Amino acid sequence: MNRQKSSPRFRFVGAAALLVLLALLAPALREGDQRLYLLAGGVTGVMLLCMIVPARLFSLDRLILSLALYLGAVGILSLAPANPDAALMQLLRCSVGVVALIIGAMIIRIITPSMLTAGISSFLGLLFLAGSLLVRDLPFSLTEAALILMVISFSSLLACHSGTVALIPGLIGTVLLLLQGMTVEAFVLALTVLLLLWSADGRLGIVLAALSVFVAMFWGAERLGYLPALASAEEHSLSLSTLVSAGLFGSGEAAVLPESALPVSSLLYPLSENYGLVFTGLTLLLYLPLMLRGASVAGTARSRFHAVLALGCVLIFSLRIPAGLLAAFNVLPLPLTPLPLLTDSLPNLAAQMLTLGLLCGISSVNEADLAEDAHLAMLAK
The residues binding another protein (CB under 8 A) are: 7-9, 11-12, 15-16, 18-19, 22-23, 26, 28-34, 37, 56, 59, 63, 67, 70, 162, 202-203, 249-250, 252-253, 275-276, 278-279, 282-283, 285-286, 288-289, 292-293, 296, 300, 302-304, 368-377, 379-380
Q: Contact, 267 vs 344, CB < 8 A?
A: yes
CB of 242 to another protein, least distance (A): 18
* Closest to 261 (Cα-Cα) out of 235, 229, 279, 280: 235
Describe the chain by its helix, strand, coil percentages, rounded to 5. 75, 0, 25
Concatenating the DSSP letter of every residue in 98-135 gives HHHHHHHHHHHHH--SSHHHHHHHHHHHHHHHHHHHH-
Q: Contact, 334 vs 311, CB < 8 A?
A: no
Q: Contact, 101 vs 354, CB < 8 A?
A: yes
CB of 162 to another protein, least distance (A): 7
Question: Of the two residues 20 and 146, which places its CB atom closer to another protein in the complex?
Answer: 20
CB of 303 to another protein, least distance (A): 6
CB of 166 to another protein, least distance (A): 14
CB of 34 to another protein, least distance (A): 5
Question: Of the two residues 61 and 235, which places its CB atom closer to another protein in the complex?
Answer: 61
Q: In sequence order, what are the residues at sequence separation of 6 or more whose Cβ sits closer than 8 angstroms to the Cβ of residue 94?
A: 69, 72, 73, 75, 76, 349
Question: Of the two residues 24 and 334, which places its CB atom closer to another protein in the complex?
Answer: 24
Question: Of the two residues 134 and 380, which places its CB atom closer to another protein in the complex?
Answer: 380
Dihedral (CA of 120, 126, 132, 133) sign? negative
Question: Of the two residues 70 and 154, which places its CB atom closer to another protein in the complex?
Answer: 70
DSSP state of 331: S
Question: Of the two residues 83 and 296, which places its CB atom closer to another protein in the complex?
Answer: 296
CB of 12 to another protein, least distance (A): 4
Per-residue CA distances from 84 to 81, 90, 102, 339, 346 (Å): 7, 10, 27, 22, 18
CB of 381 to another protein, least distance (A): 8
Question: Of the two residues 29 and 115, which places its CB atom closer to another protein in the complex?
Answer: 29
